[in-house]
Chains A and B, each alone.
Chain A
Amino acid sequence: MTTLHDTTTTAPHDSAVATPPVLEARGLSVGYDRRAVLSDLDLRIERGTVTTFLGANGCGKSTLLKAFGRVLKPIAGEVHLDGVPIRKEPNRAVARKLAILPQSPAAPAGTSVLDLVMRGRNPHQSWARPWTAEDAGVAEEAIAATGLTEVAHRDVASLSGGQRQRAWIALVLAQRADTLLLDEPTTYLDLAHQLDVLRLVRRINRDQGSTVVMVLHDLSLAARYSDRLVVLHDGGVVADGSPVDVLTPEVLQSAFGLHARVVPDPVTGAPMVVPEADEHDVSGLAADANLG
């Protein structure tokens, strides 16, 4: 594992040491067809934080999230949820504590928002306890929280991209799990809708104390909406810590092969990545702007 400067492996809150981390990877190797994409990884996710995995295409960030979400069986090592090996617990019990949103999920035609969101109540139901008024209440609340009450009876396929993504997030919310794993929740959305989704995620984290782990592509948005960034490259973690510590030109160069400058976002002060100009994009405007 190559280690760059500034790699913070300690937990952000040392006072929380008494309780086990929500999620913990121990000696984790994950990949496909026994070919490891990430090897011998140790990573702790602390309660109540928003953590984002970053990295170039194929670096294994989605793979890691799938292993955390017990969707992918590790080649070696284990993922622990609340201190218990996640694969040893009944799937339904895990689903009450951990909700996952895969990349570009699809619902069959004829599925209404309500149909979809109600599925989130599955881990709370059983033969002895079928659908109840409480389930209905939670589903309605999840739909309201994502601003979809008006379209609750509409076919998911007929919604706009942003609404559709929020419907899936509502499904995850209806699960009432304290930890949410979101794999590229902003894919295929325009900037305004990306912001919608990320603000919603932040709000859930703030209001409900949820732990969020997600994969994002947009570095500046990741910095703006995360407490912690974990950059993956070449089979391991190359940088881990607060956005300010992690998003440096050196990390961008080594992990993404990106020649970029990092400036404070004029609105929030969060680090913002601005690619350096090369000969193709030096227009008069760009050249002037870069001087400032």
Chain B
Amino acid sequence: MSAVDTARAVDTARAADTADTVRATRKGISIGPVGLAWRPRVFWLTIAAVAAALLLVVLGVAIGSTWIAPGTVVRSLLGLGTGPDAFIVQTLRLPRVLTGALVGLTLAVAGALTQTFTRNPLGTPDIIGVTSGASVGAVAAVVIGGGTYAVGAVVLGSRIPVAATIGALIAAAVVYGLGWRGGVQSYRLVLVGIGVSATLDAVTSYLLVRAQITQAAAASQWLVGSLSSTSWASVWPLLIVAAVAVPVALATSASLGIGQLGDEVAVGVGLAIQRHRLLVIALAVVLTAAAVAAAGPVGFVAFVVPQIALRLAGTNRPPLLLSAALGAVLVLAADLLARSAFPWQVPVGIVTTVIGAPYLIWLLIRHRKEMSR
């Protein structure tokens, strides 16, 4: 009997067999029609985080130099308010709160993407050079083009975000280009990114040292991340980027899960890995650049939020939507604290770090206790 005949005979047997086995094993495990997308724990956590973010938006608008009752805030948010309160809400406070929420959201999603794709919790968007590139751009705009602080402050409104965005995109392109070697491997990308970031940070330091003291002060404030100079002009670019990039990121979710299993397995199950990698990097770069352009490199959000989301959800990678909602929660809470808990203004980037880092450490300790039990 030839191999072909054997194969054919086996095929027939196999077809009959398969039907039986499916029936037999069907009750063993239930997967449900949606597959792994449906995880009740992640779903409810996300709902809770979104609710918390909305609550913080209302609180963030209500609390300030004058207290505005939450009822009035909600009415004004819905466009029903009139008078001075509506002005304060819509023109002064809402842009800042929305920028904060969007900065948190975009940074957290960018962090979740890069941490998943580098298979490393330290793989934040910073390592693709985006943050360092944006910093060089922004600081150069202040120091070289800014003139005096007073003049600068007016011009900077539009100049810093543009310079930061350009710096971020160029740096990311350089890292990707240098990381290319018949394809990009995440490990190589991380190493190149660290090198390029260090070089760019040196440039930033040099610019700061050379700058006049007022320029250096303005640049330093930008460098820790601040929401104090936000307006509707900061909201729109962020909103557009988030509205485009987050759904695309969600659509790559399955590929991200496959990429986590290593390059060989990913290729084996049919993932076009280089295209996938370019898409993920591009998304992370665009999201980070938008956030950094609006508020400066707000510290730690991209690193800590996905890790918190991962530990809360108990999944094998940070869930994107939960990360997004928690990112908004962290930055909104930090900004609220920064504005109201201290007699002086504290940049939001300092507060995100101060509340984010201990929380992550606490989660790690609790997790270790659970493991050892």
Contacts and interface: CB of A to CB of B under 8 A. Distances in A.
Contact of B35 (A95, A135, A172): A135
A105 B261 contact: yes
Contacts, number: 157
B316 A209 contact: no
Contacts of B317: 108, 110
B260 interface: yes
Interface in A1-42: 12-13, 15-16, 18-19
Interface string A260-289: 000000000000000000000000000000
Contact of A71 (B4, B6, B267, B315): B267
A73 B315 CA distance: 34
Contacts of A186: none
Interface in B316-350: 316-317
B271 interface: yes
B265 interface: yes
Contacts of A137: 22, 25-26
Among B28, B32, B269, max chain A CB count under 10 A is at B269
A13 to B, nearest CB: 4
Nearest to B5: A15
Contact of B31 (A16, A48, A136): A136
A250 B190 CA distance: 48
Interface stretch (A117-125, A191-199, A215-223, A229-237): A117-125
B36 A66 contact: no
B3 A115 contact: no
A94 interface: yes
Among A71, A111, A119, A120, max chain B CB count under 10 A is at A119
A19 B25 contact: no
Interface in A105-164: 105-111, 114-116, 118-120, 122-123, 125, 130-133, 135-137, 139-141, 143-145, 149, 152-153
A62 B257 CA distance: 26
Nearest to B311: A110
Contacts of A101: 268
Interface string A57-76: 00000000010011101000
Given A108-B260, A140-B22, A144-B28, A91 B271 contact: yes
A119 B29 contact: no
Contacts of A118: 31, 35-36
A207 B11 CA distance: 8
> In which size bucket is the chain A interface?
35 or more
Contacts of A71: 263-264, 267-268
A208 interface: yes
Interface string B269-300: 11110000000000000000000000000000
Interface of B: 2-4, 6-7, 10-11, 13-14, 17-18, 21-22, 24-26, 28-29, 31-37, 119, 182, 254, 257-258, 260-265, 267-272, 310, 314-317
19 contacts: A12-B3, A46-B3, A70-B267, A71-B268, A108-B119, A108-B317, A114-B31, A116-B261, A119-B265, A122-B254, A123-B270, A141-B18, A141-B25, A144-B25, A153-B29, A206-B10, A207-B10, A207-B17, A208-B10
Given A16-B4, A141-B22, 6 more contacts: A13-B3, A95-B268, A110-B315, A131-B36, A132-B33, A144-B28
